[in-house]
Structure 1
Amino acid sequence: MTDAGELIAGRYRLAERIGQGSMGVIWRARDERLDRVVAVKQLDYDAAIGPAASQQASRRALREARLTARLRHPHAITVHDVVEAPGGPYLVMEYLPSRSLAEILLDRETLPAEEVARIGLPVASALAAAHAEGVVHRDVTPGNVLLGESGVVKIADFGISRATGEGTVTGGGFIAGTPAYLAPEVAGGHEAGFPADVFSLGATLYRALEGAPPFGNDDNTITLLLRIAKEETVPPRHSGPLAEVLTRMLQRDPEARPSMAEVQELFEAVTGGRPLPPPRPRPRAGTRLLRVRRPRRRLVLASAAGAVLLALGVVIGTVLVPGGTTTVAAPVSSVPPASPPASTPASPAPTTPADLGCAARYEVTNSWPGGYQVQVTVRNDRAAGLSGWRVRWQLPAGHRISGLWNGTFTVDGSTVTVENADWNAKLDADATTTFGLIALTQNGSDAARPALTCRTL
C-alpha cells in the first residue's frame, strides 16, 4: 500500500489522497525535479476488475499516457508522465485545485440551467477535441468534471479511454464506465463509441439540472444496467433550450445523437442566447454521405447501389400568410415544368380567412429517403406584441414527428399542435422566431406540404 510521503520514481513525493478515479487512487504530490505540484494517479486494477487485469496494468498505463498526451486542450487535464514503481504504474497529471461536479451536487442537489450550460460548453469542447484525435473518454460523469477555484472547467480522468483502432484491454466482459451515466448501447454490452460520450455528457448535465440521472438511481447495478439498456429516459421536467439540447444528446439511437462538435455548437447557442441550430439529418442504413464540390457545400445521400442521388438543402414547402392562406413553393429543378393540357382547369385562388394574430412559414430544408427536416418561422403580424403562439397542421398518413426543437408539440390523431417554448413566447410587432422538426415517413414519399394555422395565445 502506497503511503503519504513516499517518493515515486525518485521524483514525485506523495502528499495526500485527493480522490478516487476510475481504476485508481489520485494523490496530490510534488515534482521535486521541477518544483511544482502535480496529481499522481496510482493505477489499481486488482481492486477494480480482479487479478487477471493486473497483468495488463503496465500496458494500459502506457496506452493511456499515449492517448491523453495527444490532447493539449485548455479544458482537459494534461498528462505529464507515466512511471513504473513499486505498487504499480503511476500517471503524473496536471494538478487543478478544484471540486468535482459530483461534490458540488452533494451540497446543492441541482444547478440553474444557465450554470449547467456554462459547465457543458467547455467540457463539450474538450471532448470534441478528443474525438477529433480518435479518443473516446468512456467515463464522462459528474465526478470527472472539475470546477476550478478561478471558474475554469476541465474534464479529467481519461483512465478508461480508448483510441479508435486500438483494442480494449478491460476484457472478461467488464463494462467500462459509471453505470448511471452509461449510454444504452454500452449498458447492453456494446463497445463505447463517440456517441456514448455524447450520451454520458448529456446524462451528467441532466443530473445537474434535474437532480437525478436520466434513468434514475438504483443501488442494484444489474437492475440499473437492465433499465438503461431497455427503457426510455425520464423526460426532463425543465423546458427551454438547455432541456432541448439534453433531449437530443440522450436519444436512445446512437445515430440520432449529435456529434460532440455539434454539441459544442449547441451549447454556444444556449450560452449566447441564440436559437438552437436544427439537428443535422443522419443517413439511413444502407446509405453513405458524399461531399459534392459546389459553391455552397451540400451533402448528398447515395443508395447502396449508388443509383439515386438526392440533393439536400432544397427548399420544398409551404408559405402561410396571415390566417392560413397558403402558397406552395415548388421543388427546385433545372428542368422547366411541362405546360398543362389545355383541358386542365385552373386551380382556384386561395382564400384569406380572418387574421388570427400571427403567421407561419413552413419550409422543408432537407429531405432524404424516408424522412425530411422542417423549419417553421412564426411572425407576429400585429401592431402590438404577443405573449404566446400556437401552430397547427394535419400530418399526412404514414408520417410521424421524431423530434422537435424550440417548442413543444402534441399529436392528436393527425393534427399536430406546436406551442412556443418559454423563452420564445414573446414577440414584438413584426418580430419572428423559429422552430424545427424531423419527420419520418413509412412509405418513402416526399415531404409533407400542409396548410398551417397560427393563432396567438
Structure 2
Amino acid sequence: MSGFASALLSFAHTLFGPGFCPGDWVWATTTAGALVALFPALGALVVAIVRKGTGNRYDATTLTVFGLIGVVTVLVLPWLLSNGISESFRSVAAGGTGGLGAAARSTLDSPYCFVGVQSKYLGGGPNVFEALFYNKGLKLSYGLYLLAFIVLPAGSLLFVMLQARTAFRRGPKWPSRFFWVPFVVMAVASVGMTANTAVHFWLGFLPFSVLGLIPVGLVGPPPWSVINRPEPRREPSPSPERPPVSQAAPRPQLPPPPPPPVNKPYPATAMASAPEPGLLAAAPGPVPPPPGSRGAGGSRYQRVRRLGHGGFGTVWEAVDTQLNRTVALKIAHAPDRDTEERMQREARALAAVNHPNCVKVYDLVEEPDGLALVMEYLEGRPLAEVVDGQGPLDDVAAGRLWSTMAGALVAAHEKGVLHRDIKPSNIVLDPDGLAHLIDFGIARSQGDSKMTATGMMIGTPDFVAPEQAMGAQASPASDAWQLAATISYALTGQPPRGTRETPMAALMAAARAEPVSRLPVRSAHARILGASLDQEPRRRPTLNAVRREVEGWLSRAGKSPDGPVTQIVPRRLHR
C-alpha cells in the first residue's frame, strides 16, 4: 500500500503542484487529501445505486455489503493512503526515496517562503499527537494546529455523515453508521502522520467531502415502488419427523399472516375480500335481515334530527329504542336491487372493520324511505369546521391526524373496503381531540364505480385523486391521495390544487392532473406530502409507509403518535 500511496502522491503532484509558496509538494499534499476524500463519496454513491434495487431490505447480505463498503472506502483506504503519504515524506527526509522518482525528489529540497526545505517541513518534525500534547519544534502556530486537527476533521465528519444520510434516504437512518463510525476511527488513527503533512492533507479533504454530496444527491432515492415492494415470503422449513406419541392430539397449524397491502387496483366491485352475503360479519352488530322480512322495519330507530344530506342519502341522529343508545342513521336515496345487494355486502365488510379511529357500523335495516345503515354516532366537529374557525394545525397535530387516519384506512383496506371520499368534512374531532373517519361511500350505481344512483360523483372534486377524476377505478392509492390532500388542507387551510369557482372547474382541474400548488412549504411533512400527492398512483408511498415515516418524525420530536389532534373541541349535548 506504500507504493500505492507514493503513486497517488506523484499523481497529485502532476495534477496540481505549482511552484510557488508554500511549495509544489505542499500543494500536492493538499491535492492528495482532496483525492482521498473522494473514496467516502464513492462508497456512498455505490450504496445509493444499490438501494435503487434493494430499497429498505436490510437482510444479512445487504448489511454485509454496506458494512464492507463503508469500512473499505471510509476507514481502510483513507487511513492507509494518508499514513503512506506521510511515510513517503519521512523517507525522503531521512535520505531515502519514499517511492518517488529522482526528478520529483529534487524539488523537495527546494526552500519556499516560511516553509523552508519542503522535505524537512513535510517529513520531519513531530507527528499529530506530539504536536497537540508536546508542542515543541513546531513550524506553525499552535492555534493553527488545533484548527487543522480538530475543526477540519470534525467538518469532514459532518459531510461524510450527510453523504451517508443522502445515500440512505427514504429509509431508516441507522445504516449511516457504516460510514461515520469508520471515519471517526480513521481520523483518530491518523495521529501518526507528521503534523505538517496532516495540516495540508485535511485542508484538501474538507472541501472535497462537501463536493462529494453532489453525485450522491444526483443518484436520487430509491423509488417508492421499490420501497413498498413486499418482502418475499419464506416457506417454513419442514421440521424433522418425530415419532408419534400415543394419544397426543395434533397441534393446529396457524395460517401464515397476510401480506401487507400494496398500491394496486381493486377488482370491479372494490370488495375482493368482503364477506359473502349470508355470512356473519366479524364484528360488531347482528346480521341484517333481508329487505321485506319481519324485524326489518324502522320503528326501532327514533329519529331526532337531520345531520346531513348528500348524494348518497340523508344522515339522521337517531335513538335505538331497544338498546337505548344514540346512533347515526344513513338512509340511501331509492336504491335499486343491485345497489341493495351491494349495500348489504359492503355493510358486512364495514362491520368487520375494527379500528378505534374508524366509525363503527352496527346494522343494516330497511326503513320506510329506504335502506338505512346504522352507525356509531360521534360527537364533535368536522376537521373542516375546526380549521376554518381556529386556523391550520401545526406539524405535530397534522402528524397525529395523518398517522391515525392512515391506520383506520389500512384496517378498512384489509377488509376490502375503500372509502373513496376522504375530505376534511368526513373527519370528526371528538371532545377529547381525537380524530375519527366517517361516511364511507356505500351506494354506487350498477356497473359504474365512480357515479352514484343520483348522478353524483363519488368523491369531492377539490379532494378527488386524478385517476378517479379521469374515470379509473378507485384503489388504496386513491384513498392515500385523498388523505394526503386532507392533511395538506389541515396545514394550509386550502385544498392542495387551490379552490375553483365551481365544482365542475375543480373536477376538470383534477381530471387534467393539474399539479398541486398549495402545499405547506415550511412543514416538516412537505416531502412526504409531495410524494403522496404524485399524479401516478404507482409512485405514491403506501399508507403503511406514510405511517412509519410520520410516526418516526413524531418519535424524533418527542411526541406520541396517538395523542389528541386538538383539545379545543366543545362538547355538544344531545337533545
Describe how 1:41-190 pairs up with structure 2 within 5 A.
41-44=330-333, 54=336, 56-160=338-442, 170=452, 175-190=457-472
Describe how 1:299-314 pairs up with structure 2 within 5 A.
none
Amino acid at match of 1:155: L
CA contact under 8 A between 2:312 and 2:443: conserved in structure 1?
A: no
CA contact under 8 A between 1:14 and 1:27: conserved in structure 2?
A: yes
> For each residue in 1:317-349, what CA deviation from the matched residue of structure 2 results, as whole angstroms up to 9, or x when unmatched?
xxxxxxxxxxxxxxxxxxxxxxxxxxxxxxxxx
Runs of 5+ consecutive residues of structure 2 not aligned to the other structure: 1-295, 559-575
Match for residue 491 of structure 2? 209
Distance 1:65 1:176 in 2: 17
Shift in Å, 1:220: 2.1
Could you tell me the TM-score, scaled by structure 2's length?
0.42
Residue 25, structure 1, aligned to residue 275, structure 2: no
Shift in Å, 1:44: 2.2
Q: Percent identity?
A: 36
Match for residue 436 of structure 1? none
Shift in Å, 1:159: 2.3
SS in structure 2 of the partner of residue 272 of structure 1: helix
The 10-residue stretch of structure 1 (82-91 or 261-270) with the greater mean CA deviation from structure 2? 261-270
CA contact under 8 A between 1:139 and 1:160: conserved in structure 2?
A: no
User: CA separation of 1:173/1:19 partners in 2, compared to 1, >3 Å: closer, same or farther?
Assistant: closer
Amino acid at match of 1:140: I
Describe how 1:289-304 pairs up with structure 2 within 5 A.
none
User: CA separation of 1:161/1:120 partners in 2, compared to 1, >3 Å: closer, same or farther?
Assistant: farther
Amino acid at match of 2:321: E
User: CA separation of 1:251/1:77 partners in 2, compared to 1, >3 Å: closer, same or farther?
Assistant: same
CA contact under 8 A between 2:309 and 2:315: conserved in structure 1?
A: yes
CA contact under 8 A between 2:450 and 2:468: conserved in structure 1?
A: no
Shift in Å, 1:68: 0.7
Match of 2:305 among 7, 12, 16: 16
SS in structure 2 of the partner of residue 261 of structure 1: helix
Match of 1:232 among 509, 515, 518: 515
Report the aligned-residue RMSD.
2.7
> For each residue in 1:231-253, what CA deviation from the matched residue of structure 2 results, as whole angstroms up to 9, or x when unmatched?
11115243243122211110111
User: CA separation of 1:173/1:16 partners in 2, compared to 1, >3 Å: closer, same or farther?
Assistant: closer
Match for residue 249 of structure 1? 532
More helix by share: 2
Moved over 6 A (4+): 165-169
User: CA separation of 1:21/1:66 partners in 2, compared to 1, >3 Å: closer, same or farther?
Assistant: farther
CA contact under 8 A between 2:451 and 2:457: conserved in structure 1?
A: no
More strand by share: 1
Shift in Å, 1:72: 0.9
Amino acid at match of 1:44: H
Match for residue 334 of structure 1? none
User: CA separation of 1:130/1:32 partners in 2, compared to 1, >3 Å: closer, same or farther?
Assistant: same
Distance 1:267 1:161 in 2: 33
Match for residue 296 of structure 1? none
Runs of 5+ consecutive residues of structure 1 not aligned to the other structure: 1-6, 46-52, 276-457
Distance 2:435 2:403 in 1: 9
**Number of positions where the alignment pairs a residue of Structure 1 with one of Structure 2:** 260
User: CA separation of 1:19/1:270 partners in 2, compared to 1, >3 Å: closer, same or farther?
Assistant: farther
User: CA separation of 1:99/1:22 partners in 2, compared to 1, >3 Å: closer, same or farther?
Assistant: farther
Distance 2:343 2:552 in 1: 38
Amino acid at match of 1:236: L
Match of 1:267 among 550, 555, 572: 550
Match for residue 383 of structure 1? none
> For each residue in 1:196-228, what CA deviation from the matched residue of structure 2 results, as whole angstroms up to 9, or x when unmatched?
000000001111111211111113222212212
Shift in Å, 1:121: 1.3
- Ranked by relative contact order (alpha carbons within 8 Å, sequence separation 6 or more), the top structure is 2
> For each residue in 1:50-88, what CA deviation from the matched residue of structure 2 results, as whole angstroms up to 9, or x when unmatched?
xxx655442343133122112011110000001012111
CA contact under 8 A between 1:248 and 1:257: conserved in structure 2?
A: yes
CA contact under 8 A between 2:450 and 2:471: conserved in structure 1?
A: no
Residue 258, structure 1, aligned to residue 541, structure 2: yes
Could you tell me the TM-score, scaled by structure 1's length?
0.53
Shift in Å, 1:168: 7.3
SS in structure 2 of the partner of residue 136 of structure 1: coil
